[in-house]
Amino acid sequence: MARTTSRGFSLVQKITLRDVVLFYMQRMGCTINQDIAAYFSKVGKPRVTKQGMFKALDKLNPEFFPYVIRELANKYYERGDYQTLNGYIVLACDGTKRDLPNTPELAEKFGGAKNQTVTDTSKIKTPQANCSVLVDVLNHVVLNASMCSYDTSELPMLFEHLEKCRDLLKGKKVLLLCDRYYVSAELFLYCTFHEIDFIVRNKSYCYKEQIAKVKTEGLILLDFDKAWINRMKREDCKAIAKLMDNCLALRVVKNTYSYKPTDKKRAEEVQVDSAYLTSVSVPLLSKGEVVSAYHVLRWDNETVFYDIKDHLEAERFNSGKVNIVINSYLAKVLNYVIGGQFFNDADELNMSRKDEEGQTTKYDYIPNMKNILDTLRIDPIFPKILHCQEILITVPDIQKYVEDLVEDFSRVLVPVRPGRHYQRWGKWMASIPLRKSRLDGRRDPPIKKCPFNRGYITSR
């Protein structure tokens, strides 16, 4: 699985497959030399050259990390003690763009944004990739991850996730949460045929006539005619539509919520009417539970992207090689998977300390994910355990070491502040931060030169 050539990782060399995999996962320095010095000093091996490390990194097959991620998810569900919502494993899928190094190889492979002046790949200044993850939002388990070209739609990437995880999810109750960009009759047919329930927020112009007849909650019938079926891109979905007599019943849940815009000092509340399409019947999830599942649980998928992109610095690359760039990103996802399990155990330990009467503080508190991810990369013992070295540590000692980590993580907490938008406009800084992530413009607003003093200031 890890080889790109028949002879890859077949000879006894200074840099083994384990070294390559763990090096990808442990990277956190600004330069490759810093990462080499940090990693090989932790595992107690002789330091190698930068050229030799790049050569070894380029040997790893990009399919390796998604395979390991799926295997870890399979092992996790075999334990049987995972959290569910009314018996459902709650999955969420979303995609985001990733900025890549400006090299001709990456521009040719992934492409980027084009306009009237940028008409071909040779003129692209910032290559970008479309990245997608399928994550269990209740257990912080990533089931699959992928990195595709800039113009790849999010829906085909979701189909790829579901296809690769079909055996993993077989026999389990699954609830899939998706935003409005995934509204598709093909997805509804696929999920219905494979017994996957879903909640998808509807676009305002999709199934407009049918949904207009529903007041607050009800059923609509999608009647697929020949032209509709011919427009479908997947042959299996076409066959499923014919198998289901060219019709599909969906439950519609309508909701109205309001918010006050934060970009204006005196603005009236904005009222939004939304509709959600689901295959879950009323006895299993009520109207309120459908709305809460989408708006509360699905947000954890956005948090996954924030942790990978910001805390793990997924956009920091030290090479322009395609294999190295893909593996660097997917290794961050695998790193998050391991950190997520420590988060679950630390959160459970933190909850066990609360008084029987429940929460007594103003805010609820959860473990600090940034602290967990940074600690697992900085700690000198953890990579040795993953490397399976004979470092004279017995199994009980390793167990005690892991329990101590969980204990430490359960003590470093952050408050959960509902409705907070992380506004940081007008904040002064001496220099531009090295990180490049810009998720929503609120956590990481634009930066400009300070007009009153030296340095920089965040702006709207």
Q: Is there a domain that residue 425 lies in?
A: yes
Q: Note whether 292 and 167 are same-domain residues.
A: yes
Q: Is there a domain that residue 92 lies in?
A: yes
Q: Is there a domain that residue 178 lies in?
A: yes
363-419 residue pLDDT tens? 788 999 999 999 999 998 888 888 876 555 566 788 889 999 999 999 999 888 766
Q: Note whether 301 and 428 are same-domain residues.
A: no
User: What is the Cα–Cα distance from 456 to 426, expressed in whole angstroms?
Assistant: 9
Specify the DSSP element, H or E, that contains 457: strand 456-458
Q: Note whether 286 and 429 are same-domain residues.
A: no
What predicted TM-score, i.e. pTM, was given to this entire model? 0.87
Q: Note whether 299 and 161 are same-domain residues.
A: yes
List residues bridging with 220 in a β-sheet. 250
Q: Note whether 296 and 433 are same-domain residues.
A: no
End-of-domain residue from the set 280, 305, 330: 305
45-101 residue pLDDT tens? 888 999 999 999 999 999 999 999 999 999 999 988 899 999 999 999 998 888 899
Residue 110 confidence (pLDDT): 95
> Dihedrals φ, ψ of 93, to 5°?
-135, 140
Q: Is there a domain that residue 223 lies in?
A: yes
User: What is the Cα–Cα distance from 320 to 100, expressed in whole angstroms?
Assistant: 8
Q: Note whether 81 and 214 are same-domain residues.
A: yes
Q: Note whether 213 and 70 are same-domain residues.
A: yes
Q: Is there a domain that residue 268 lies in?
A: yes
Sheet holding 128-136, edge to edge: 141-149, 128-136, 89-99, 174-178, 197-201, 270-278, 247-259, 217-223
Q: Note whether 237 and 88 are same-domain residues.
A: yes
Q: Is there a domain that residue 48 lies in?
A: no
End-of-domain residue from the set 305, 320, 346: 305
Number of domains making up the chain: 2
What SS3 state is found at 98? strand
| Tokens read off for 229 | 């079926």
Q: Note whether 283 and 159 are same-domain residues.
A: yes
| Tokens read off for 143 | 């089931």
* pLDDT at 290 exceeding the cut of 90: yes
List residues bridging with 275 in a β-sheet. 254
Q: Note whether 257 and 109 are same-domain residues.
A: yes
Question: Domain with 147 in it: what CATH number?
Answer: 3.90.350.10
Residue 182 confidence (pLDDT): 95
Q: Note whether 296 and 429 are same-domain residues.
A: no
Residue 106 confidence (pLDDT): 94
Confidence tier at 440 by pLDDT (50, 70, 90): very low
105-159 residue pLDDT tens? 999 999 998 888 888 888 898 899 999 999 999 999 999 999 999 999 999 999 9
Q: Is there a domain that residue 328 lies in?
A: no
Q: Is there a domain that residue 37 lies in?
A: no
End-of-domain residue from the set 305, 321, 349: 305
Query: Which range marks the domain in which residue 180 is found?
Result: 64-305
Q: Note whether 130 and 260 are same-domain residues.
A: yes
